[in-house]
Structure 1
Amino acid sequence: MHYWLFGGGPKFVWELTHAMLERGHEVSIYSSSRSKNTPPYRFDPRARIFRVSYSDKHDNIALLRQTISQENYDVAIAMQGGVMQLFWAVTLMGTGVPLVYSEHSFPARVEQFWNRAGRLAAMSGADAIHLLLPEFINSLPAWLHERVTVIPNSVPGAGATAANNNAASPTLVSLGRFDKVKQIPLLVEAFGLLHDRFQDWKLDIWGYGEEEKAISWSIAQSSARSAIHMRGIADPALDIFAQAQLFCIPSRCEGFGLTVLEAMSQGTPAVGFAQCAGVNHIIRDGVNGLLAPEMTAQSLADTLGRAMSNAALRSALGQEALKTAAQYAPEPIFDQWESLLLDTAASKGHTRMDAFKDEPFASRARLSAVARREWLFRDFGRPWPGTLRWYSEAARTAAAKFWKSLQRRLGQ
Structure 2
Amino acid sequence: MTPHAMDFFPEKMRRRGWVIPNPVMPPVVQARAEPSDTRTVVAVGRLVRQKGFDLLLRAFARIAASHPDWNLVIWGEGEERPALEQEIARLGLEGRASLPGITAQPGGWASGADLFVMSSRYEGWGNVLLEALAAGIPSISFDCPWGPREMVKDGVNGLLVRAEEVPALAAALSKMMDDPALRERLAAEARRSAERFTPGPIVTAWEQTAEAAIARKRLRQDESQDRSLVGAAGIEPATPPV
TM-score by length of 2: 0.80
Answer yes or no: is the 8 Å Cα contact 1:157–1:325 preserved in 2. Answer: no
In terms of Rg, which structure is larger?
A: 1
* Secondary structure at 1:150 match in 2: coil
3-state SS of 1:225 partner = coil
What secondary structure is seen at the aligned counterpart in 2 of 1:171?
strand
Find the aligned partners of 2:206 and 2:71 in 1 and give their Cα distance: 40
* Residue of structure 2 equivalent to 1:231: 100
C-alpha displacement at 1:343, in angstroms? 5.1
Instruction: Select the residue among 146, 150, 166 that pairs with 2:19.
Output: 150
CA distance in 2, matches of 1:245, 1:267: 10
Check conservation: 2:27, 2:106, Cα contact below 8 A. no
Matched, 1:319 2:188: yes
Q: Deviations over 1:16-61 (max 9, x none)?
A: xxxxxxxxxxxxxxxxxxxxxxxxxxxxxxxxxxxxxxxxxxxxxx
Q: CA deviation at 1:190?
A: 1.0
Q: Deviations over 1:329-365 (max 9, x none)?
A: 11221232244345556759x9xxxxxxxxxxxxxxx
Matches within 5 A, 1:44-55: none
1:188-207 paired onto structure 2 within 5 Å:
188-207=57-76
Q: 2:148 aligns with which of 276, 279, 282?
A: 279
Distance 1:284 1:343 in 2: 31
2:98 partner amino acid: H
**Residue of structure 1 equivalent to 2:40:** 171
| Structure of greater relative contact order (alpha carbons < 8 Å, 6+ residues apart) | 2
Q: Which amino acid aligns with 1:247?
A: F
Q: Would you say the 8 A contact 2:75–2:109 is kept in 1?
A: no
- Secondary structure at the counterpart of residue 43 of structure 2: strand
| 1:239–1:205 distance in 2 versus 1, CA, 3 Å | same
Q: 8 Å contact 1:170–1:201 — kept in the other structure?
A: yes
Say which SS state the counterpart of residue 193 (structure 1) adopts: helix
How much has 1:169 moved relative to structure 2? 1.2
In the other structure, the counterpart of 1:303 is: 172
Determine what percentage of the aligned residue pairs are the same residue.
33
- In structure 1, the residue matched to 2:89 is 220
Runs of 4+ in 1 over 3 A off after TM superposition: 157-160, 235-239, 338-348
Which amino acid in the other structure matches residue 146 of structure 2?
Answer: A
Structure 1 residue 234: Cα displacement: 2.9
Question: What is the CA deviation profile of residues 199-258 of structure 1, one whole-angstrom value per residue up to 9, with x for unaligned ones?
Answer: 111111101122222212211212222111111113434342242110011111111121
Letter in 2 for 1:218: E
Alignment match of 2:159 (pick from 287, 290, 294): 290
2:115 is the alignment partner of 1:209: no
Q: CA deviation at 1:275?
A: 4.2
Q: CA deviation at 1:182?
A: 0.9
- Kindly state the Cα deviation for residue 306 of structure 1 after the two structures are TM-superposed: 0.3
Unaligned residue ranges in structure 2 (runs of 5+): 221-242
Structural RMSD (CA): 2.8
With over 3 angstroms needed to count, the CA separation of the structure-2 counterparts of 1:193 and 1:157, relative to structure 1, is closer
Unaligned runs of 5+ in 1: 1-131, 351-412
Q: Secondary structure of 1:139's partner?
A: coil
Q: Does 1:255 align with 2:124?
A: yes
In structure 2, distance between residues paired with 1:206 and 1:251: 14
Residues 273 and 279, structure 1, Cα contact 8 Å, conserved in 2: yes
- Asked if 2 retains the 8 angstrom alpha-carbon contact of 1:169 and 1:200, the reply is yes
Q: CA deviation at 1:159?
A: 8.2
**Partner amino acid for 1:204?**
V
Paired residue type of 1:314:
R
Aligned to 2:135: 266
User: Any idea what SS the aligned residue of 1:251 has?
Assistant: coil
* TM-score calculated relative to the size of structure 1: 0.48
Work out whether 1:328 is the aligned partner of 2:175. Answer: no
> Does residue 138 of the first structure (1) align with residue 7 of the second (2)?
yes
2:49 is the counterpart of 1:180? yes
SS in 2 for 1:177: coil
